[in-house]
Amino acid sequence: MRRAIFPGSFDPFTLGHYDVISRGIPLFDEVVVAIGVNGSKKYMFTLEERKRFIEEAFADEPKIKVVTYSGLTVDFCKEINANFILRGLRNPADFEFEKAIAHTNRKLSSIETVFLLTASSTSFISSSIVRDVIRNNGDYTILVPDTVRVK
């Protein structure tokens, strides 16, 4: 089975995330959206909210599974028998950052990282930008799937 994980904090889940996951579906038998838990980070959305946003966005897609994990991503890959890490690249800075992580992961394990370029229509979107728009009462709804709503 070709199982990939798409790791991240997804705070919040954006249209960019949605795009990369959607385009990964035909490449793998299963895509596990893995929400990393970091106790030292302050999140805008709870873990339960972030998980629900993603599950609802892919409710009709049986190849998508949403889970949470802590620790090293490569260790989690081994735990669930995932041979691939799926990552999206928005710009050259993303590439340099992700390349270093991919090389490290490859050194620590046999896990391959597969990069997909984000769609031009979503390449400017980041979770930090969305959080800033939300904090300043802007229209964040054009940057996230319909499942993401602020209370």
Annotated active-site positions, please? 17, 41, 90, 127
Taking the CA atoms of 40, 85, 59 and 67 in sequence, report the sign of the dihedral they define. negative
Q: Report the amino acid identity of residue 18.
A: Y
The 3 state secondary structure assigned to 76-96 is HHHHHCCCEEEEEECCHHHHH
